[in-house]
């Protein structure tokens, strides 16, 4: 089934921004949101040059304002007629070892990446249940498979929770035409990791997003992308002694 109208949260930079451009090249209509709406407007102008036939709706959204999440998703459905796919992508990676004075940053990451993802999934599924079709995609991370230390402690926990949430939603939707997919990206260059110099197996944004889009199109339960090396790495990570995990963050 072709998912023509696609809503992406966190579309002002990194993966969301690049996925939007790639979908525009394929002729899909887009509903794009983030807090930095000026970046979305620039992206809309760029897409208009790239493919003038594509409809692009942009709206400002702070996903931590949960009432606004529901309002903006409904407004996008009105803008484009309906929404076929929602990509819950907005996320952040601030934080530090617990007990070192960074509770505020750890809490902000927990709320943005998990509680606000629930709001986005709720708002998406309200639309999908009403129209009896749709594809929900959540952008988790390979860090969901194990615990990690330092800045990644809370981040990895939010991604594990998000993967679990999406699996639960998929089970809940068995027997309906609505689908749910979790994407676990490996390291892809973007603003989230621009200050981190050595990142294992990192790929550029284009390469990473091509793999993500290919996986999304399959509409299965869960994918590790790019497939090489992350499908194998995640199997290994699941049984890795914690001393080895210590070296990975």
Ligand X SMILES: NC(=O)c1ccc[n+]([C@@H]2O[C@H](COP(=O)([O-])OP(=O)(O)OC[C@H]3O[C@@H](n4cnc5c(N)ncnc54)[C@H](OP(=O)(O)O)[C@@H]3O)[C@@H](O)[C@H]2O)c1
Q: If binding is defined by CB under 6 A, does position 22 make contact with ligand X? A: no
Stretch that binds ligand X, among 24-32, 51-59, 97-105, 182-190 (CB under 6 A): 182-190
CA 21, CA 30: separation in Å to the nearest integer? 9
Q: Name which of 144, 152, 76, 86 is nearest 119 in CA terms.
A: 86
Q: Name which of 207, 174, 176 is nearest 190 in CA terms.
A: 207
Cα distances from 123 to residues 74, 76, 120, in angstroms, run 8, 11, 5
Q: If binding is defined by CB under 6 A, does position 104 make contact with ligand X? A: no
Q: If binding is defined by CB under 6 A, does position 95 make contact with ligand X? A: no
Which is the catalytic residue, given 17, 23, 155, 223? 155
Minimum gap (Å) between residue 79 Cβ and ligand X: 18
Stretch that binds ligand X, among 13-21, 49-57, 70-78, 168-176 (CB under 6 A): 13-21
Q: Which x/- pattern, by CB under 6 A, does the window 133-152 give for ligand X?
A: ------x-x-----------
Stretch that binds ligand X, among 11-19, 94-102, 129-137, 227-235 (CB under 6 A): 11-19
- Please give the radius of gyration of the chain, using alpha carbons only, rounded to the nearest integer: 17
Q: If binding is defined by CB under 6 A, does position 63 make contact with ligand X? A: yes
Q: Name which of 176, 179, 228, 173 is nearest 201 in CA terms.
A: 228
Q: If binding is defined by CB under 6 A, does position 188 make contact with ligand X? A: yes
Cα distances from 207 to residues 202, 214, 220, 234, 246, in angstroms, run 10, 11, 21, 19, 27
What are the φ/ψ torsions at residue 120 (nearest 5 degrees)? -65, -40
Instruction: Please count the CA atoms within 13 angstroms of the CA of 228 that sit on its side-chain side.
Output: 0
Minimum gap (Å) between residue 22 Cβ and ligand X: 13
Examine the residue annotation and report whether 155 is marked as an active-site residue of this protein: yes
Q: If binding is defined by CB under 6 A, does position 230 make contact with ligand X? A: no
Report the residue from 89, 120, 182, 211 that binds ligand X according to the rule CB under 6 A. 89
Residues with a known catalytic role: 155
Positions that interact with ligand X (CB under 6 A):
10-16, 34-36, 61-64, 89-92, 112, 139, 141, 185, 187-188, 190-193
């Amino acid at each position: 089934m072709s998912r023509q109208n696609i809503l992406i949260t966190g579309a002002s930079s990194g993966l969301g921004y690049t996925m939007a451009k790639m979908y525009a090249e394929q002729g899909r209509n887009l509903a794009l949101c983030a807090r930095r709406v000026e970046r979305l407007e620039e992206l809309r102008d760029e897409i208009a040059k790239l493919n003038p036939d594509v409809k692009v709706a942009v709206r400002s959204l702070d996903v931590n304002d949960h009432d606004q999440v529901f309002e903006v998703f409904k407004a996008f459905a009105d803008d484009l007629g309906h929404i076929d796919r929602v990509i819950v992508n907005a996320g952040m990676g601030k934080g530090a070892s617990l007990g070192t004075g960074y509770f505020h940053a750890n809490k902000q990451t927990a709320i943005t990446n998990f509680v606000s993802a629930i709001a986005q999934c709720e708002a998406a599924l309200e639309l999908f249940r009403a129209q009896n079709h749709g594809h929900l995609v959540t952008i988790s991370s390979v860090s969901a498979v194990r615990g990690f230390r330092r800045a990644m402690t809370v981040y990895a926990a939010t991604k594990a929770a998000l993967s679990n949430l999406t699996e639960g939603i998929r089970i809940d939707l068995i027997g309906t035409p609505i689908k749910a997919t979790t994407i676990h990206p490996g390291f892809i260059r973007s603003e989230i990791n621009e200050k981190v110099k050595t990142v294992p197996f990192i790929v550029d944004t284009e390469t990473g997003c091509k793999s993500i889009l290919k996986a999304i199109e399959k509409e299965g339960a869960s994918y590790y992308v790019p497939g090489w090396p992350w499908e194998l790495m995640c199997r290994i990570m699941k049984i890795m002694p914690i001393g080895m995990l210590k070296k990975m963050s």
